[in-house]
Structure 1
Amino acid sequence: MIHTKKEKAKHMKSQNKFLLSSVTLAVLTLINQAQAQNANEAPAAVPASDAVAKEIQQVVVTGVSGARGVRKIDSAFSITTASEEQLKSAAPSSTADIMKLVPGVYAESTGGQSGANIEVRGFPSGSDSPFVSVQMMGNPIFPPPTLSFFEGSSAFRLDDTIERVEVLRGGPSTIFSNGQPGATMNFLLKQGGDTPEGTVRFTTGTGSLRRVDMFYSGKISDGWYGSIGGFYRKTDGIRDAQFPADDGHQLTATLTRKLDQGELTIYARNTDDKNAFYTGVPLISSNNGHTISAFPGFDPLKGTLVSGEMRNYTIEAAPGKTLTKDLGDGRGLKATVFGANFDQKIGDWSVSNKFNHFSGDLNTNAMFTGNNPLSMADYTAAAIKSANSNAAVVAAAGGKLATSANTTFVHGGNVAADQQVVQAGLWAVEKKLSSFTDELRVSKEVGKDNTVTVGGYFADYSSRDVWYLGNSHLMTAVPNASLINVTLDNGVVVSKNGTDGNVFYAPVASYDGNNTAVFVSDEWKINDRIKVDAGVRHERQRVSATISNLMSGDTDNNPLTVYNNGTSMPNGSNTFIDRKDSANSFTIGGNYKLSKDASVFVRANRGHTFVSFDDLRGAGSQAAANDRSVLPTPKVSQYEIGFKTANSFYSAYVNAFHTEFDGIAFSQILANGTTLNSVSGSKGNGVEFELALRPLANLQLSLTGDYQKSEYRDNPATAGNTVQRQPKLQFRFTPTYRIPFGDNNSVKLYGTYTSIGERYADQANQQYLPSYRTIDLGVLASLGDKIELRLNASNVNNALGLTEGNSRLTTGGSGPINARPLFGRSVEASLLYRF
C-alpha cells in the first residue's frame, strides 16, 4: 500500500516512467521491424485488397495547410479516418457515438441523438464537449464547440451523403480554422462525379424503427457536378417513452464546378429532427458504487421514467403565465447550413477560402433526474417537516401544523406508503443559434520545397436563450412513471398534477461573439525522408451578454401551494457583460519516412480556449467576468511521438502523448438549483493505438484504444484526483472476415468486443463508475454490385454499464441511485439498392 503523499508521488512518477519507457520500446520495435522489412524486401503475407490499398494511399485534409491534403501515413499528427463502410459497420447510435472508433476519446452517447458528453484524453471537462469541434467540409458548424444545452455533435446528423470522417487530435489544429486544441471531427460530403450513381436504403429495427435514406450524384454539364440526398426516420426508441423518440428528416445537396487548376464546391443542408433525451434511471448501488444492479421492477437497459402521461407538461413561469411544452420535441435540431469551399492555383500561388453560415433552433424539452429514489412515506415525512418549519406556510394554514398527507395518482387511486418514488425536473430551454465563419489561406513555395501559408479566420456567432430549469415532478420509480399528487391535512398542496417544485432558474439572455485570427505556417521538405512544419496563430475574441436579472415570486399568490413558491422569473432589468481576450498558439512537428509506407513523427503544440457565453452568465457581473483568477483563458500544451505504417499484412498507428492543462472553469447545477463553480488544471500521459493484422486473405483483426493516466492539479480540492469521466484503459477488438462467392457476391462477418475501464463521474472522485464490456455483431451480404443486406446488433450481451452518475448530486455511495446506463440489446436491418 502507498501511505504517504511522497510515496504516492514517487509511485506515480515510476508508473509514468514505466509507461513512457514501454511506449518508447514498442515504437522502436515497430520501427526496427519496418526498417528490416524494407531492407530485406520481405514478401507480404497476403495480397493487398482494394480496402488495404485505399488505406495505404488514404489522403487526409483536416489539419493540413494545403487543400489537396497529405497521405495519412505521411502526416505528422494523430488522425483517425473512417470510410462510409466503416461508419456503417460501427453502427453508431448518434453522431457522438462515432467517437468509439477514435482512440483517446470517450463519448457518453446514451442520451440519444443529442446532448452527448465527449471527453478528450487528458483534457478536464465535466459535461458536453468543450474540446471537440464538429466540422462539415472543413468548416466549423458552430464556432464555439459547446454551450450549455448544446454540444457540436447535436448539430449534425449522419446519413448516406457522408463520404468519410476524419478525427484529428491536437496536432496543427491549434493553428487552423477555429483553433480547437482537443479533437476536430470533420465530415466530408460525397460530391458528384463523371459517372452517375445513386442508392436507396431501407432500415428497420428495435423500437419500430422506420428509416429511408436516398442519395444521387452525377455530372450536370461540362465542368459541373452535383449530388443530393437525405433521410426520413421515425422510431419509438430502445427506451420506449410511449411516444416517438426520434422523428425527422434531412436533405443535403452539393454543387461542384471544376476550374482550371481549381475547384468550387457549394453545399447546403436542412435538418428538421426531434429527438428524445434520456437521463438517469433508478438503479441499486452497492459495495460503495463498485457493484450496480437493477432497481426492483425497472429494466435499466430498456426502461425510462418518461411516459405519455407527462409528455405535455406545464410550466408556471410567472403570475398569469403558464407554458405548455412537449417532451416529444426532446433535444431536437431545426437548422440550415450553407457553405462554399474554393481552391485555386494561380501561377505560383495557391488560394483557398472556406465559409459557411449556420442558423437554427436547438431547443431542449427533457427530463433531468433529481434526488435519489425513496419511499412515498419518507417523501411525505420530509414534506410535512418542511411545511411545518416554514412560518409563512403555517400562518397561511391558520397556524395548524400538518400531521399527515394524502397521496394519490394524478389519474386516480391512492399511492401506497412503500411505493418507491423519484423527483425529476421537466426542463425547457429555447436556444436560437446563428453563426458565420470564413477562413482564407494563401500559400506559395518560397525556396525549394519550402511552402509558406498565410491565413486569416473570422467568426461571428450569437445565441438567444430562454431557460426554465427546475419544475420538479413527483413520480413513481417505474418505467413510464405515473405522476403523484400530495396534499397535507392542513391544506398545504405539496404536489399538484405531479408538479412538486418551482422553476428555480429562468434567465432570458442574448449573447454575441466574434473571433478574428491570423496565422502563418511553414512546411519544409528537407529531403525525401524528412519533412518539418511549424506555425503560429494570434487570435482575439470579444463576447458580450445581456442577461435578465431575476427575482423570486409566488405564481398564484397562495403560500399553501408550496410547489410554486419562490419561482424564479425576470424582474424587468438586465445585466450587460462584455469581455475581450487574446491568445497565441503554436505548433511544430516533423515526420521521418522509414520507408515508402512507414514513418515516425514528433509534435509539440500549445493551444487555448476562450471563455464562453455560459462563463459570462455564471460570472454575474462585469467585475467578476474580468477577474482572470475566476475566469482564466485556459492553455493546453501537448507533446506527441508516433509511428505509422500500413501494408498488406498489418497496419499500425501508435502515438504516445503528454498533456498539460492550465486553468479551466467548471460549473455544476445541483438538484436544488445551486451552482458549484471551480477552476482546475490537469496533466496526463498515455498512449493511443490503432492496430490491424491481416494474417489470411479476407481476415482482419483490429485493436484500437488508449491507456492514459490523467489527474487534476492546481486546485487543492481536487489535485491528484483522476480526471473525471475518463477511463484509464479502453480498447476495442474487431475481427472481420469476408467470404467471397460467385461473381461479385460476398458475406462479411464482423464483431467488436469493447472494454471500458473504471471512471469517476465527478472531480472529487466520489461517484465511482464501474468498468464494463460490450459485444456488437454484424453481417453484410453483398449480392453483385447492386444489392446489400446488412444486420447489426449492438450490446448483444446486455451489459449494464454506466456512462454517467447523478450529475445533480456531488456524492455517490450505496443504495438507490439515479444514473445513466447503456442502451440494451438492439438490432438494425437494412436493404440497400444501387442504381
Structure 2
Amino acid sequence: MFMKTQLKKTAPTIMLTALAGLTINPVFADFRMEEIVITAQKRDSSVSDTPIAITAISADQMRELGIASQQDVANFTPSMQYQEAAGGSEENRIYLRGIGRETNSLGTEPGVGVYVNGFYSNEAGALTGSSDRIDRVEILRGPQGTLFGRNTTGGAINVVSKKPGQEIENVARVNVGSYSHEKWELTSSGPITDNVGYLVHYTQNDRDSFFDNVSGPDQIGISSDYTEVMFDIDFSDRINWNIRYATSSFEDESLELGLLKGYDYHNGVDALSRYGPQVMNAEAFSPLAIQPAENDPFDISSEYRGKVAADDTTDIQSTLTIDLDAFSIRIMNSDYDLDWYGEKDFDGTAGPVTRFEKIGQTEQNNQHEIQFVSNGEGDLDWIVGLFYFSIENVQPYTLSESSNPYLINNVQGPIVGTPAPRFNPEGIFYFQQGELDATSQAIYTQFDWRATDRLTLSAGLRYSEDEKEAYEEQDILFDSVLDFCDESLFSGLVAGGDPYADIPGCLREGYFVSEGDDEFEETWYAFNWRLNATYDITDDSMVYATVSTGSKPGGFRLGGLQNDPSTPENEAVIDNEELTAYELGYKGFLGEDFSFSSAIYYYDYSDIQVELDIIDPVSGLSQLKLTNASETEVYGFEIESSWNLTDKLSLLGNYSYMKSEYKDDFFAFDLKTDTERNVKGNELNRTPNDKFSLSSYYVQPFDSGDIVFTLSYSYISDQYTSIYNDSIEQIDSYEVVNTRLSWQPASGGYEISIYGRNLTDELSYANRYSVSGQRDGVRASGRPIDPETYGMEVAVFF
C-alpha cells in the first residue's frame, strides 16, 4: 500500500553480510553481554531469575544499539508498539501484546503503565534520556496488576535512574548530526562525604525539522532542555534517603498528518454536517494543484509554524529506605507539575482559509506509597504495600478559523432559544474543555514461598479504588452560509478564490449549533491477583507458569457531551477493562555464552475501551465516543536470546508472534462506508503478527584501545489502525537498520563514535496513521517515522 524506498529489500542482506563478515575474521577479546539486575518485583533480581517476560535494556545498550527514541525501544522489544503524532510526546501511545490506549482525551487511561524509579508517570517521553543519567529500562509484558497496579493491564515499563557512585565521575558529551542536530550533555556524579552522594545532569537538545514547507517557513524542529539533581544520603547503615529533582522544558514542532491522497474539492464545504465541522474547506482554495505529501512524505504546505511545548515541568521524587532485621520499609513520595500546550495549522495547506487547532493541558499529581519488604532470608519472601495517587488536570481544545469574518463578528445563537449576539474574536467553530480530579488508592501484597530447593510458589493480590470527579463543556458553531445558501453557489466562491465573498440574496453569519456542559462523579473498584509456580530445572534454567489478572479503570471521554439525558443510563461513563492472562515461560543459559528465554501466553480480554465515530443528533456532526467493546482474545509467543558467538562478537535476537481477535458481535458505525458494521473476527489495533530484531556487538582490541562496532536490524509486520481492518487502514511491514562505530582508547579518557540510523531510509507511517470518512474521499493521512540520519558523538570522561 505505501511507497517503499528501493533500498528496503536490501536491509536483510546488509545485516547478514555484515554478520558473516565479522564471523569470518575472528579476533579474540574478553567480552560478555551483561546480566542486568532489575527491580521488577520490588526487590533486586536478575532478568534470568525473574519469572516474568521482561526486556531489560541497559543505558550502554541503548547508546550503542542506536536506541534513541520511544519508537526504537518498541522496535527492539517483542510485542511492543508505539505511536506519536508529533514531537513533545503529543498523543504518545504504548501497546504491549495489543493492549494500550486509543485516545489521549482527558478522563481516559493508558493500558501500559510507565514508571520512573517506581513512580507512576503519564508520559512516554520518560522512556528515553541520556545514558549518563539512566541506568536501564525494564519492559514487563503481561498484567502487572498486583505490585504495580495502576494501568498495567498490558504491562509496565520502569525507567531506573543511575545513582551516585563511590568515586567522582564527570562526563561531557557532544552529539552532532543530520538536520543540524546538536545535543550537549554534562553529568557529574560521586561522593560529597562518606555518607552523601550526588548526581547532577544537564541536556540541551536541538534539531531542525525533517519536513520541508513548500508554502512558507519550515517547521521549528525540536528544542529541549533537561536538568536533574539527585542526592543519595546514608543517615546510618540502615537508613538511606534518595531524593531527585528534575525540571525540563521543550518547544517542538507540531504537524497535522500529511494527506497521502490529494486535495478534496467538494464545493468548498469542509465536511457537511454528518462528517465534521461546517466551515469552509481550506483545501478547495489551496494555491497548490497537488498535495505535497503525495510526492514526498516529508513535504508540507502551511502558513503557520505549529508547536507543542511545555514550560518548567518539575518532578520531585523522595524514597526513604529503612532496613530492619526482618524487613525493610520503603516510603515513597512524589510531586509532578506539567503545563503543556500545542497549536498547529489544522487545515494542512496554505491559502485564504486559515484554521488552527489549539490544545492545552495543566496537570498536577502526587503519589504516596509505603512498602514493607522482607529481607530475603528463610523460605518465605513477602511484600505488603499501600498506594495513593491523586491528579488534577484541565484540558481545553479549540478549532478556529481566524480569517472568517462571519464567525468573528455578531455570532448568533443558539438556534433554539433566545438569539444572543456575541463576539468571537478568534473565530472559534469548535470548543471543548475537560476538568478532572481523580484519586487512586490500593493495598497489595505478594508472597513467594520456596517450597523445595527447586520449586517456588507465588501469590499476589491487590485491591484498588479509582474515583473521578469531572466537568466538561462544549460549543459548536457554524458559518451559516453552509446551511442557508444553495451549495451550487460555492463553486463560484472557489472559482473566484474568495471564500468569504458576499453571496447576493443569502444571509451569512456565524451561529451556535449547540452548547452545553455536564459533570460526573464515579468510582471503580478492582481486585487483581497473580498465581505463579517457578521450577528450577538446573542452576541455570527454569520454567514458570502464571495466571494473573489486570484491569484498567473506567472513565469518561471529557469534552464530547456524550450522555443522553433522555435515557436512564449515563452513556458517557465506561466500565473497567478486565483481563485474565495465562502464561508459560522458560529462561536459561546454555553454557556461559548463550542465554535464552521464551514465553507463550493467552489473554481473555473483556470490556476493552475503544473509540468510535458517532453522529451527534443535535448538530449532525461526526464525533468520537468512548465505549466498551465485546469479548476479545490475544495470544502469542516470544523469544529473546543473547549469544557470545566468539570472544569478540555477541548477538542479541528476539522474535514475537501475536494474534488477536474480537470474539463476539460488536457493531460500530464506519464513516468510510457510512454504515454500521460488525467487527467480529477482526484484529485489535496495533497487533502485528510478527516482530523480529537482531543486533550484533563486535569488539576489535588494540594495544591503544578498542574499536566497537554495532549493527541492529528490526522488522515489524503489517498492522491495523482501525477495528474495521480494511486494507486502507493497514500499515505495511517495515524494517529499520541502525549502526554505530566507536573508538574507546585504553586510557579511558574519551570516546569517539559515528552512527547512522534508518540506514535504508525506510518509509513507514507507524508513528501515526488515520483514514477519513466517505464524504471526505476516504483519504489516508500519516506521519512517517524518522528518515535516514547520521551523526558523530564525542564523550570526555574526567
TM-score for both structures, normalised by structure 1: 0.74
Residues 129-528 of structure 1 aligned to structure 2 (within 5 Å): 130-142=110-122, 152-154=123-125, 158-159=129-130, 160-178=132-150, 180-240=152-212, 242-258=218-234, 259-283=236-260, 298=293, 303-305=298-300, 307=302, 309-311=303-305, 327=306, 329-330=307-308, 332=310, 334-367=312-345, 426-444=356-374, 448-469=378-399, 471=401, 503-528=428-453
Question: What's the secondary structure of 1:238's corresponding residue?
Answer: coil
Residues 203 and 226, structure 2, Cα contact 8 Å, conserved in 1: yes
Distance 1:700 1:473 in 2: 60
Q: CA deviation at 1:451?
A: 2.6
Q: CA deviation at 1:332?
A: 4.3
Residues 143 and 550, structure 2, Cα contact 8 Å, conserved in 1: no
- CA change 1:679–1:304 in 2 (3 A) is farther
1:107 to 63, 82, 93: 82
Q: Aligned partner of 2:700: which letter?
A: I
Q: Deviations over 1:254-302 (max 9, x none)?
A: 10012323421000100011122344323359xxxxxxxxx88648766
Distance 2:457 2:606 in 1: 28
- CA change 1:341–1:811 in 2 (3 A) is farther
List alignment gaps of at least 5 residues for structure 2.
Answer: 1-25, 263-289, 405-425, 486-498, 502-507, 616-620, 668-677
Q: Deviations over 1:739-794 (max 9, x none)?
A: 11114x11122222221111122101121222122322221221231211122212
Q: CA deviation at 1:602?
A: 1.5
Distance 1:261 1:473 in 2: 67
- CA change 1:296–1:612 in 2 (3 A) is closer
1:477 is aligned to none
2:694 is aligned to 733
Distance 1:616 1:552 in 2: 15
1:674 is aligned to 623
Q: Deviations over 1:101-131 (max 9, x none)?
A: 2111112357334233322213264355822
Q: Deviations over 1:230-259 (max 9, x none)?
A: 201221132246243111211011100123
Distance 1:730 1:345 in 2: 43
Distance 1:304 1:351 in 2: 56
1:602 is aligned to 545
- CA change 1:707–1:504 in 2 (3 A) is farther
1:479 is aligned to none
Distance 2:53 2:29 in 1: 24
1:703 to 650, 653, 660: 653
Q: CA deviation at 1:576?
A: 1.7
1:650 is aligned to 594
2:712 is aligned to 752
1:126 is aligned to 102
1:17 is aligned to none
Distance 2:567 2:296 in 1: 44
Distance 1:753 1:662 in 2: 35
- CA change 1:270–1:623 in 2 (3 A) is farther
Residues 800 and 822, structure 1, Cα contact 8 Å, conserved in 2: yes
Question: What's the secondary structure of 1:217's corresponding residue?
Answer: strand
1:593 to 536, 539, 543: 536
Q: CA deviation at 1:502?
A: 6.8
Q: Aligned partner of 1:464: which letter?
A: V
Distance 2:395 2:606 in 1: 30
Bigger drift between 424-433 and 215-224 goes to 424-433
Distance 1:301 1:757 in 2: 23
- CA change 1:172–1:533 in 2 (3 A) is farther
Q: CA deviation at 1:619?
A: 3.9
1:660 is aligned to 604
Distance 1:217 1:100 in 2: 32
Question: Does 2:53 align with 1:78?
Answer: yes
- RMSD between aligned residues: 3.7
Q: Deviations over 1:484-522 (max 9, x none)?
A: xxxxxxxxxxxxxxxxx9745312332100011111211
Distance 1:195 1:625 in 2: 67
Distance 2:121 2:186 in 1: 23
| Seq. identity, % | 18
Bigger drift between 794-803 and 611-620 goes to 611-620
Q: Aligned partner of 1:771: which letter?
A: S
Q: CA deviation at 1:473?
A: 9.8
- CA change 1:239–1:705 in 2 (3 A) is farther
Q: CA deviation at 1:808?
A: 5.4
Distance 2:466 2:752 in 1: 50
TM-score for both structures, normalised by structure 2: 0.77
Residues 731 and 765, structure 2, Cα contact 8 Å, conserved in 1: yes
Distance 2:29 2:609 in 1: 50
1:693 to 643, 651, 654: 643
- CA change 1:754–1:632 in 2 (3 A) is same
Bigger drift between 438-447 and 256-265 goes to 438-447
Distance 1:178 1:630 in 2: 19
Q: Deviations over 1:601-648 (max 9, x none)?
A: 111111101123536855447898965896121101111111112453
1:832 is aligned to 795
Residues 594 and 643, structure 2, Cα contact 8 Å, conserved in 1: yes
Question: What's the secondary structure of 2:766's corresponding residue?
Answer: strand
Distance 2:483 2:143 in 1: 60
List alignment gaps of at least 5 residues for structure 1.
Answer: 1-44, 143-151, 286-294, 312-326, 374-407, 411-422, 475-500
Residues 662 and 682, structure 2, Cα contact 8 Å, conserved in 1: yes
Q: Deviations over 1:449-472 (max 9, x none)?
A: 113322111001011121114659
Distance 2:258 2:377 in 1: 63
Q: Deviations over 1:652-694 (max 9, x none)?
A: 1211111121112322579965225443242111011212222
- CA change 1:171–1:200 in 2 (3 A) is same
Question: Does 2:555 align with 1:612?
Answer: yes
- CA change 1:260–1:516 in 2 (3 A) is same
Q: CA deviation at 1:442?
A: 1.5
Distance 1:94 1:369 in 2: 28
The count of corresponding residues between Structure 1 and Structure 2 is: 676
Distance 1:306 1:218 in 2: 51
1:34 is aligned to none
Q: Aligned partner of 1:742: which letter?
A: D
Distance 1:521 1:458 in 2: 18
Residues 278 and 304, structure 1, Cα contact 8 Å, conserved in 2: no
1:718 is aligned to 679
Residues 164 and 188, structure 1, Cα contact 8 Å, conserved in 2: yes
Distance 1:701 1:537 in 2: 39
Question: What's the secondary structure of 1:99's corresponding residue?
Answer: helix
Distance 1:219 1:580 in 2: 47
Distance 2:185 2:531 in 1: 43
Question: Does 2:742 align with 1:780?
Answer: yes
Q: CA deviation at 1:360?
A: 1.0
Distance 2:56 2:137 in 1: 6
Residues 283 and 816, structure 1, Cα contact 8 Å, conserved in 2: yes
Q: Deviations over 1:788-807 (max 9, x none)?
A: 11222122112222216753
1:405 is aligned to none
Distance 2:209 2:578 in 1: 40
Question: Does 2:488 align with 1:545?
Answer: no
Distance 1:230 1:266 in 2: 17
- CA change 1:674–1:347 in 2 (3 A) is same
